[in-house]
Amino acid sequence: MPRSSQLLYPARPPAEPQAAACLLLLRDGPKGLQVLLTQRSAQARFAPGAYVFPGGCVDADDARLPAATRPRQRGHALTAALAALRETFEEMGVLLARRPDGLPAIAQDVAGLERHAPLAPQCQARGLKLAACELFLLARWITGCDWPRRYDVPHFVARMPSGQRPQADGQEQLNAQWLTASAALARHAAGRLPLMFPTLKTLEWLRSQPNVAAVLAACAGEAPLWTSCPRAARRQGRIARFMEHELPFGELALVCPDGQGEHEIGWQHEKPVPLLRNVRRLTAANSGFMTGPGTNSYLVGDAAAGFIVIDPGPADEAHVQRLWQAAGGQVRAIICTHSHPDHAPGGWLLQAMCSKQVPVLGLPSSPQGRPDSAFTPDRALYDGKRLQLAGEQTHTLRVIHTPGHTANHLCLVLEEDGLLFSGDHILSGSTTVIDAPDGDMTVYLASLDKLAAACAAYGANFILPAHGHVLHEAQQAIVRLKAHRLAREAKVLAAMRQRPSGTLDDWLPLAYADVPPEAHAAARKSLHAHVQRIRQLDLLREDGASAWRQAA
């Protein structure tokens, strides 16, 4: 993990989340699935005026509420479900319960209950049991670390009981409405329905569900479909929030680990973006289909020690000038992770700007590389080489040779802070192209294993790619990437078996059916690399015979 001395913001331990729960009451309406939303009072301490699902904090007495349960409902999950039922009754006057004969409670049973009196003795007097068995866990939301008041809120779903009618209590909750998810989201977009982030995202999921039965079937397990503690950032000066699967989340975990929420997440090319005190990213203005937001150049170091520049980028004088200015001219070395034209040519421009000759480092390009990627560094690096800057702080970069994307590709680990600079070997939001013969799929996969081992050895939990945002949980990200590549290989194998006499152009639409046509030209290169690997390893062999050789 990064050194505390390198963090941009002082530590700010987040507030401890308080246990709470909420309930999505669902019904099938004339225009599709509907959910009950209600507006919080303007005097509420948390999210005043927002439209929410009924719910609230778990009380100490909730565990003692009489309950009808499923066999696997137990512990805190059961208590949370009972809290959601109690809160829904107090706020909406709706109670999912079972009568002594096991049948669902009807409106007359509920009408005799007092909303704001203790519920347990009232239920016991009437022989009612709260129908926890009718609640299914959809998701678990934990309020972001930037909030001074935080909650841990399981979101349950249940079918609205027949014969009952929700009515807001007029104190905590106002203006109860049945809405389809699409209608709620449209009103929110028009500024007429304030929604909290978890409510918004839950509605986005609910929009894809056709009816109540489909929702209950999707939530039939006892585990949430997702658990999220969103992170906050700024986008053009406004607060934006991101879930764990969204691309900016990993960067926010690095830059604002305690949820400070001050990091600007939008892409710009005019000035470097601080990630740590000793790491800044400057993105070249070469955004495009293959480069995403642009090539990320990184400056590692500080004013006292000087800077190492990683991936100086394309031959863009304006970008290189900004790199030089960001380093205050104190560039000590320039490292190119590989020789592609969006990564290496800027190195020579930057070298020419420096008052003293600084070396351009990397690995020479392969004779099999593309003509526009010819590259001969001033000094060749080697696997395990350490480059160190020493000033008030020490910054040590260790070289890891990672062929696969290209034969001369390398990555770097910043040892003191546990950061992996991955070049094009690992990208954010996409997979890199393996372009044979300079690229090699088998070697690429082996290099992924090598990077996973390096992350374990150096405690690297963050990956800084040459394109896109920082990734977090580095080892898990590498495992997912390798699994994705092998899943693609399985599709390639299936395509080759389906059309054993086919060509790359025949197999491409079969193996990459999930990829948009505009990406097929790039996908064809990786397909070629997969086919080469399949043939080299004889992965098509069936019943002792090589299918591809028979088809040749």
Given a contact cutoff of 8 angstroms between Cβ atoms, the answer to whether 178 and 38 are in contact is no
Query: 336 with 360: CB under 8 angstroms?
Result: yes
- 210: tokens are 């056709």
Determine what percent of the chain falls in helix, strand and coil, rounding each to the nearest 5.
30, 25, 45
As to burial, measured by CB atoms within 10 angstroms (0-12 exposed, 13-18 middle, 19+ buried), residue 210 is exposed
Q: Residue 444 — left, alpha, or beta (φ > 0 → left; ψ -120 to 50 → alpha)?
A: alpha
85-120 in b/e form (b: 16+ CB < 10 A) is bbbbbbbbbbbbbbeeeeebbeeebbeebebeeebe
Q: What is the pLDDT along the chain (552 residues), one digit of tens a residue?
A: 899 999 999 998 999 999 999 999 999 999 999 999 999 888 777 778 899 999 999 999 999 999 999 988 888 999 999 999 999 999 999 999 999 999 999 889 898 899 989 999 999 999 999 999 999 999 999 999 999 999 999 999 999 999 899 998 878 788 899 999 999 999 999 999 999 999 999 999 999 999 999 999 999 988 999 999 999 999 988 999 999 999 999 999 999 999 998 999 999 999 999 999 999 999 999 999 999 999 999 999 999 999 999 999 999 999 999 999 999 999 999 999 999 999 999 999 999 999 778 999 999 999 998 888 999 999 999 999 999 999 889 999 999 999 999 999 999 999 999 999 999 999 999 999 999 999 999 999 999 999 999 999 999 999 999 999 999 999 999 999 999 999 999 999 999 999 999 999 999 999 999 999 999 999 999 999 999 999 999 998 754 344 444 333
Q: Which tokens sit at 192?
A: 């007429």
State how far the alpha carbon of 81 is from the alpha carbons of 22, 23, 32, 108, 460, in Å: 8, 8, 26, 23, 39
Strand-pairing partners, residue 439, are none
CA 373 to centroid of chain Cα atoms? 33
Reference 401, options 421, 381, 415; nearest CA is: 381
